[in-house]
């Protein structure tokens, strides 16, 4: 009776048995999640301790949510949006703008601050001049920040035409423009990931939007986050068997598996379908997935796009970084509007 009650409330997914018409199959991941949540509920200290590790929600946002295997941007399916929207459209949606914030040419062209270092280092260098808060509207500041991140990625002044077209032109891969557009849209936001949380923490202190994005970029650079995209490229280049240099306690194969998508990452499915890898690369992805015991995630799909489209080194990482900058800004703006400082407490270990 308890199982049926959870099914009726949508907490446990159920499908027909493939061979026995009288039987049903229930999603094991949903049941395991219920058990874990009930255990946390009986032990408040445990619930608090696990809240920052894929645990209970710690704040409210209206920007994006993950529900039943779908990613929604303000209640619109991200995969559906990737079929037609540009990153500028997503910025208008997430920032809640009445018109395209990139329509203005204010501040153009954006000069390149640094042409050396990693994509993150170049992006940070481009944002440092914007650190002092000014009197411009949030969307004006946000647009300037995105344009600077784009300029840092392509190594030339950002223009006023579509971001995906700028990237395709800078990389001399005009035929890849639509694939880049899709990838930017799918990378734009993902609820409360580590870099977004870093942006919100910075914004909660009253830091400027540029400072909040710099905090996000620092978190994004790690091997467990944006750095996993570069690791996934190495895995695919090595035939799915690469011994990628990463922390010893980092399990799995980079680019495969996601705790929030036990049945597969919809962003990866959409991107791999829109930009099918070659037969050899598809075999490599399948081999790596078998080794990982998990489906491809967005990191793998971005890596596949880079290799399939012949994009330059770090292109997958840069696409991810540029797209996610739009989401970081949306969260920073939302956090500033809420006016609350994010300041969790810590538990001090008992000594015996």
- Looking only at the bridges linking them, the beta strands covering 24-26 and 64-67 are unpaired
Which one of the listed residues 164, 189, 190, 258 is annotated catalytic?
Answer: 258
Tokens of residue 206, six digits: 């009253």
Cβ burial, residue 35 (10 Å; 0-12/13-18/19+):
exposed
Check: CB of residue 143 under 8 Å from CB of residue 160: no
Residue 157 contacts by C-beta under 8 Å, 6 or more apart in sequence?
A: 108, 109, 110, 111, 112, 151
Residue 296 DSSP symbol: B
Task: Verify whether residue 20 is a known catalytic residue.
Answer: no
Cα–Cα distance measured from residue 160 to residue 155, given in angstroms and rounded to the nearest whole number? 16
Which one of the listed residues 190, 225, 265, 331 is annotated catalytic?
Answer: 225
- What's the farthest any 2 CA atoms get from each other in the chain? 67
How many Cβ atoms are within 10 Å of 279's Cβ, its own excluded? 8
Q: Where are the beta strands (DSSP E) in the chain?
A: 14-16, 24-26, 64-67, 70-73, 76-77
Which one of the listed residues 30, 189, 265, 299 is annotated catalytic?
Answer: 299
Task: Verify whether residue 258 is a known catalytic residue.
Answer: yes
Cα–Cα distance measured from residue 125 to residue 70, given in angstroms and rounded to the nearest whole number? 35
Tell me whether the omega of the peptide bond preceding residue 109 falls within 30 degrees of 0, making it cis.
yes
Task: Verify whether residue 70 is a known catalytic residue.
Answer: no
**Residues known to be catalytic:** 225, 258, 299
């Amino acid at each position: 009776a308890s199982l049926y009650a959870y099914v009726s409330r949508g907490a446990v997914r159920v499908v027909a048995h493939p061979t026995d018409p009288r039987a049903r199959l229930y999603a094991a991941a949903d049941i395991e999640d219920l058990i874990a949540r009930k255990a946390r509920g009986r032990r408040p200290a445990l619930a608090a301790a696990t809240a920052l590790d894929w645990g209970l929600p710690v704040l409210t946002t209206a920007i994006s949510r993950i529900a039943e295997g779908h990613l929604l941007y303000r209640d619109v399916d991200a995969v559906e949006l990737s079929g037609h929207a540009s990153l500028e459209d997503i910025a208008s949606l997430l920032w809640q703008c009445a018109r395209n914030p990139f329509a203005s040419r204010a501040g153009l062209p954006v000069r390149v601050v640094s042409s050396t270092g990693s994509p993150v280092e170049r992006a940070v260098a481009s944002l440092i001049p914007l650190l002092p808060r000014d009197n411009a509207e949030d969307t004006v500041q946000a647009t300037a920040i995105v344009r600077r991140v784009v300029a840092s990625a392509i190594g030339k002044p950002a223009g006023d035409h579509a971001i995906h077209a700028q990237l395709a032109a800078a990389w001399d891969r005009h035929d890849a423009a639509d694939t880049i557009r899709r990838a930017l849209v799918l990378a734009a936001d993902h609820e409360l990931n580590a870099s977004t949380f870093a942006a919100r923490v910075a914004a909660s202190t009253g830091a400027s939007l540029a400072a909040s994005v710099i905090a996000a970029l620092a978190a994004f650079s790690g091997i467990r986050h944006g750095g996993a995209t570069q690791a996934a490229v190495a895995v695919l280049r090595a035939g799915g068997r690469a011994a990628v240099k990463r922390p010893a306690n980092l399990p799995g194969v980079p680019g495969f598996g996601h705790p929030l998508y036990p049945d597969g990452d919809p962003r990866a499915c959409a991107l791999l379908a829109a930009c099918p890898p070659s037969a050899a690369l598809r075999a490599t992805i399948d081999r790596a997935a078998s080794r990982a015991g998990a489906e491809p995630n967005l990191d793998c799909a971005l890596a596949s796009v880079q290799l399939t489209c012949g994009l330059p080194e770090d292109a997958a990482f840069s696409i991810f970084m540029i797209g996610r900058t739009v989401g970081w800004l949306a969260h920073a703006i939302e956090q500033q509007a809420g006016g609350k400082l994010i300041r969790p407490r810590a538990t001090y270990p008992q000594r015996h």
